[in-house]
Amino acid sequence: MHDLCTAPELLRRLEASIPTVAAAESLAAFLGRHGQHLRELTLTAQALPNEPAGEFLSAISGCLMAAGVAGQVQQLALLKCPLLPSSTFVATMRHLTALQWQSQSSAELRVPASISTLTALQKLQLIGQSCLQFSAAPLPRSLQTLAIDCDASPAMPRQCDVGGPCPPSLADPPHTGTTIVAVSYDGGVVIGADSRVSTGTYVSNRASDKITPLTDGVYLLRSGSAADTQAVADYVRYFTESHEMQLQHAPGVRTVANLVKEMNYQYKHLVGAMIVAGWDEREGGQVYGCPIGGTITREPWTTDGSGSTFLWGFLDSEFREGMSRQEAEDLVATALALAMSRDGSSGGVIRLVTISKGGAQRRLITPEEHPVFWDELAPPAGMVV
């Protein structure tokens, strides 16, 4: 290795052929010492006939872990590798943006669930001689290009199985399973959200708080990826605190909303459909919609999340200018109850926050207090449907 590289401490690109376990172990040791600046790694892993398959694959995984721990590998190519090595190496490949996997095995190619944890991955190329099967885990949200080249045998038709007949299209809209609503009234704003957090069809949290304070008078309603929107809220709260210390007064609602918009626009891989609402001395109560992608618009009322599909017509019909505080609170609570009765990704309790000149007041509406609609009522005794 040292003979091939005159300045190994500056190594940025490496191509290596690994025929034996001993060669893989030697390469792992070399990468551990000199792979600090490594960005591109190509491994041709074609074992000799007498090499034990399990040990050989573990040794390849050791090489990848050494490269990931020592450096910041961004492009990785695994050529002639029958299987993707142990998923433990994925945790060290957090900077990986491009992955190419070529297998010459006639066995079915199986893409492990650990691929979904490569959060920086933008390009994935899979090459094989047989059909391809994905795990049930979703592909990384950052993925922009998926290239598949598989020569399926007649006995095993070509297919792509990612929890269904084929991988989800990157053009499909992301699922923002929740319901959030914001309504302005004469004197402030009322915002509300359900409390259900879902992972596919699994309810992972039934009492989540999706209403996050950014300042004393400005709140953020979060829908989409919980992790993404929590990160946006944390960053914006930090920026607003710094802004307040510099100006010696609290930033306005419009300023805070633009900070949320900038985060959403600059980091388009984030899946966050949010609403910023609050009250300030200059413009009073304000509601700003911040959907996925970084747009921002001021509205008298708005809604987002999967349950919003059922609410646009209702809110458009029932909202009117100059409503009282009680009317606005009743409208938001009824809208959320309607969405929760129809949308499987919305449920739990209803959380309301009313923001006005007097500050912010919270209110919790338990399921026993939710409005009940005609199709949810039990039929009278003897009624035939």
- Which residues does the annotation mark as catalytic? 178
CB of 150 closer than 8 Å to CB of 130: yes
The Cβ of residue 321 has, within 10 Å, a number of other Cβ atoms equal to: 8
Long-range contacts of 288-292 (CB under 8 A, 24+ apart): 288/253, 288/254, 288/257, 288/260, 290/257, 290/260, 290/261, 290/264, 292/174, 292/176, 292/224, 292/264
| DSSP letter (8 states) at residue 282 | T
The Cα-based distances of 56 to 16, 91, 208, 241, 321 in angstroms read 15, 20, 46, 54, 71
Sign of dihedral through CA atoms 197, 199, 201, 204?
A: negative
Q: What share of the chain is helix, strand, coil (3-state, %, to 5)?
A: 30, 25, 40
